[in-house]
Structure 1
């Protein structure tokens, strides 16, 4: 599709390519391409294909590409080298920044922090394969649909990560610690799985730390000195400080139990000490004023800031059953707000959310496009994993024939077979994981659709603790001052709020021309993870 009218271009000058000085204002562009891993680069998920597509689009629409940015790494975490360089260039160019050409939404950003960083630059971005141009002049409905695509891309990556975590939890259920080995242990592979084994050089020294502390004659600082004198070092050779030793003494893994994902498990990995010794050490440690857990978990704690001092709004219980919220510093000595009243304020704040009919139709079209893109990606990953599985199987069969014919000995065959069996198990597990991910890929979009249509009804029908989970998705900021609540909607819900007319109420300022930012505290979105949708929520 032809590009929309652009507002800015890069200024010719020092440091630009020679071709840039010849490009008319408004027709300069930068190209960005990315593959999500080095494995994808090797298997041909094709940076060159993205470059060819973008260069053809630039040629057809009269753009001159003045610089190219290429990333070959994961986008689950921010900090991509070329993407960072792209942001630096756009910031340097300011109001005369070139337009950005990229193949699809998930090529540019697959987490919300990247999206926010680029959005703040206010540049025109052309998503070539999607036929979309996002700019400052884009309609709110277009920005909303674009936000949905970003959320779906993030959700897809999160689903892949979740399936990895499921494997870790299964390992926990079998009694094996799934993380990196703590000091005194080593990670070893047995039967295609990573397990813990005692470190012959450090295990005895770690056990001595528990024995020495159990005597009641030594402080943790004394143990740090003992570790230094006995040669007990960290895995990278560094000295063990008091904090590291304190954490080790608190770790139940050494006594045959461990914590993972908020649960406790009885371990089948080798223990270095008895449980009785571990409990005695804990009793001695508990005799000191270490940090203690919170006694109460209030529904809206951490969601609201004070409009006067920007401090946290905290909660406390009155008469052993009523919950009230107030500024943690009591800066203005304002009246406390009951939890029920605060819940009503939140409900009134989300009531204006509306999904217009034209946006609804565009949303459904975007949903179909995103589903197709995800299915293509899952299919490509599955084919690659299946190819690895078949290749390793052929290697094992060929090596077995070589062993039978005496070309290789048993020791060599067994060592290689163990390595190949591990690779085969990993490939088979990835195929199963991708199958599960594909089935869940629409969860985010479906739930956003339901929230956009029924946010108020969903909120008032739930208890405060469940309301909090919805609010963490809908809102990025909430400010309480003079008994009134002002909220900032998170993207993309900020595109759906319509200003209303009328006097101020104690639930906020509905008459404000911009209800999104009466007060800004500068906090990052509290929690960008979406809840699972109801099966009946799929539109159409």
Structure 2
């Protein structure tokens, strides 16, 4: 009896769990017994033949070239190869004395006609897989165009079958939100975030702790904001699934990851790490410990800016916050003037401003497509700008849905007045992390030139005369900030008010106000 190898294959691991491999083995065994052949070794593979590089298939060819067997039996032509390169290597076996048998076909590879028939079938198999690929891509693009994600749900979402959107996982969705919030705080690096989120119980799809790469993948995935981005092509689509995080939080995380928005966690966690820059050369003021005190120094060679102590920076911050506070009498007059204005008009103005921005962003995306068609920009630039534009649209639409009513606007005005009356006290009453947030959201430019500290507040904090427009979401976005939203003033105000509310909830003792002086 002639010794032969038996080769069986399925395209995926899932198919391998079914009956396909057993059916192929049964057919080959029956063919061998009918033709006086003996299968001395089986080669089983669970990988597509559309591309080359199959390890088991290549291992079998190497052994056949060494004449470890006198022939090979396959179930069908397409089990051996669906691409021209692998078929050429397989079809050369008869030339070196290796017999090729097909269990379901009566093909004689020793004859010219038999080999021609086999090669025609191989070409048809290759064309079939190319057509199947095109139809599959067409179907996937159709699903994506409908806002559906046709792949496995990312961590934090659940699959609901074909044609249905993903839904947030009740066990993991809140952990994904916490993960973004932790990183957006600026107090975590990717490594410390990985340790913290693992401690809180977030696991990957296989039930294992997240790797560092897994953490970064989640933070880069716009799917959590409602925008589907295909990594291979860079194309973006509007998803119909419920988002887990707001778009502005996603933007904040991307800014921190790219180094545009403050530092990550450091070993000493200095109070003003990454907040101040040199006013002469615009280089970062880096902290260093000397004899138990923290100093901030410009690290660029030749820069005349000397070091400045951390406590001197704090004195300057207290002094500047004290200057920005308004007296109770002025606050009362401002409150009377505000309350005489209708809050309903403010809501209408906010909605109108947001709709205009949404229309502008949609028009910009249309022009972007025209630029691509005119070859003014390349496809990579188009994909990047398209993703950014869709995220911006999600952010604006989210703000439009969450517009405050008249009662909330009135309360926001009162909160603003309380805030600007007690800025210095709020800073004194905060912990280190909260002090950083106050400084970041109160001052747009934080410079040190020599011994002079320049703290330029955001417009929302100094425009007391026009503060009503700030609180009512002035249609124009401030230029002195990179925070997303209709107005930076509203965002910064809410951040600092949250700190104030936390201080009240924690019932912290009031600290004595320090009369600061410029450094």
In which range does the TM-score fall when normalised by the shorter chain? 0.3 to 0.5
Give the structure-1-normalised TM-score: 0.39
Give the structure-2-normalised TM-score: 0.40
Higher RCO (Cα < 8 Å, 6 or more apart): 1
Bigger Rg, which one: 2
